[in-house]
Amino acid sequence: MKSKESEIIELMQNERTREKGLRLLMDAYQSRLYWHIRRMIVDHDLAQDILQETFIKVYQNFHQFKQNSLLYTWLYRIATNESLQQLNKMKKMQKTDEDAEYYLQNLVADNVENDADEIQILLQKAIQSLPEKQKLVFTMRYYDELPYEELSKILEMSVGTLKTNYHYARQKIEDYIKENYEA
Amino acid sequence: MKNFDIEKLERKNIYKTPENFFGEVQENVLNEISSNRKTERKSAKILYLSRNYAVAASLVLLFGAAAFWQINNQNFINTNTSDSLKTAVIITENLPEKQKPQAYQTLKNDIEEAKTETTENTVKYAESKPQKTLEKEIETVTPKTKKEIIPSTTEAQFEQIMKELPNTEIADIGKGAEQDVYLDLYY
């Protein structure tokens, strides 16, 4: 992965080969970034818009990438910021935080595959009931399996805080599933 | 469900996604980037053109303002001098008979001073103007000065001399001269 990263960086730094570099970058990271955004936003169309916006920002602001972190860390950071902005917009459209949580859980029910396991649906609903920080930490650690050190760079939190957040998130999710599982 | 452990659960993506949408994402991104690039080029071109127009417009404005100021300044000097002389003559004519000789003398001195000043200004102005323009201006200005200033000063001088002479002297002069029919008719 690191050699691919350096190849992408090299191409992106040159004005003439930047577009080629962007194609390689999209091929390499689009799936991971899309699922990271989708778990936050739930709605596919919005997730696609945010993914596109992320790539456009990466292209336009590549000179700001200082290479003191990994490329995917920087990409995750942009995608996370874009997702948080979208979540704030969605929350503003609802009257209360509870309404927003309820709206997101309904969105989960509308967007899951027909043959999805009940426990998997409950897991997604439980994730949507978490506060934003815990939601981010949990999804990036649980699904993307990012090390705490990288998470610390993306979310600008200490490793200790991240571990605490992950622990509380896991606890809440397990409690939610235990309460709502009917099988 | 009592011993449920989330870590043992399979990591699955359960959301519905359209097929091959990543291709669409890439196409949209590249289209957006190329259209942005075109807009940037256009705006850069517009910026370059508008900068040239701005420079041209400001030059025209600068030269226009300079020319307007120069013409306006010259007109002010001319009108101001001739207006003040006219006013002085009118005031002098309306004075009581006893004060008139002194007033005419002062007016005479003023006119001479004004003439000297006008000549100095004209010389300065002439130095800063091309020869052809100056000739045209002289042609248009000279007749006015003759009509307005010179006749009024000779009349004033004549009247002054006549007033200073006693009636006996005027009668003596009249004896030696031929009878002027028109003068008699006038008086």
pLDDT tens-place string over residues B68-80: 888 888 766 666 6
Are B33 and A178 an interchain contact pair (Cβ–Cβ within 8 Å)? no
CA A41 to chain centre: 9
pLDDT score at A68: 84
- Nearest chain B Cα to A108, which residue? B15
Domain assignments of chain A as residue spans, ordered by start: 1-93, 96-183
CB contact under 8 A, B4 and A177: yes
Q: Determine, for residues B28 and A52 on separate chains, whether the beta-carbon distance falls below 8 Å.
A: yes
**Residue B168 pLDDT:** 75
Q: Is the pTM of this model over 0.90?
A: no
Structure confidence at residue B81 (pLDDT):
60
CA distance A55 to chain B (A): 7
Q: Does the distance separating the beta carbons of A120 and B14 come in below 8 Å?
A: yes
Nearest CB to B26: which of A26, A120, A173?
A26
pLDDT at B82: 62
Chain A contacts of B13, Cβ < 8 Å? 35, 38
Question: In this predicted structure, what is the pLDDT of residue A182?
Answer: 79
Residues of chain B with Cβ-Cβ distance to A31 below 8 Å are 22
Q: Could you tell me the pLDDT band of residue B186, with boundaries at 50, 70 and 90?
A: very low
* Cα–chain center distance at A43: 13
pLDDT > 70: what percent of chain A? 98
If one compares B184 and A165, the residue with the highest pLDDT of the two is A165
Are A26 and B25 inside 8 Å of each other by CB? yes
Q: Using CA coordinates, name the residue in chain B closest to A23.
A: B26
- The predicted-structure confidence for B116-163, as pLDDT tens digits, reads as follows 766 676 566 666 656 666 566 556 555 544 444 555 677 788 788 878
Q: Binning pLDDT at 50, 70 and 90, where does residue B187 land? A: very low
Q: Where are the domains of chain B?
A: 22-186
User: With contact defined as beta carbons under 8 Å apart, do A150 and A73 qualify?
Assistant: yes
Give me the CATH topology for the region A96-183: Arc Repressor Mutant, subunit A (1.10.10)
**What's the whole-number mean pLDDT along residues A75-104?**
90
Whole-number average pLDDT of chain A: 93
**3-class DSSP state for residue B84?**
helix
* Residue-level pLDDT at B95: 74
Best of B11, B15, B19 to mutate (most A CBs within 10 Å, chain A)? B15
Does residue A15 have a pLDDT over 50? yes
Global ipTM: 0.86
CB < 8 Å to A116, chain B: 14
Whether pLDDT at B37 is above 70: yes
Give me the CATH topology for the region A1-93.
Rna Polymerase Sigma Factor; Chain: A (1.10.1740)
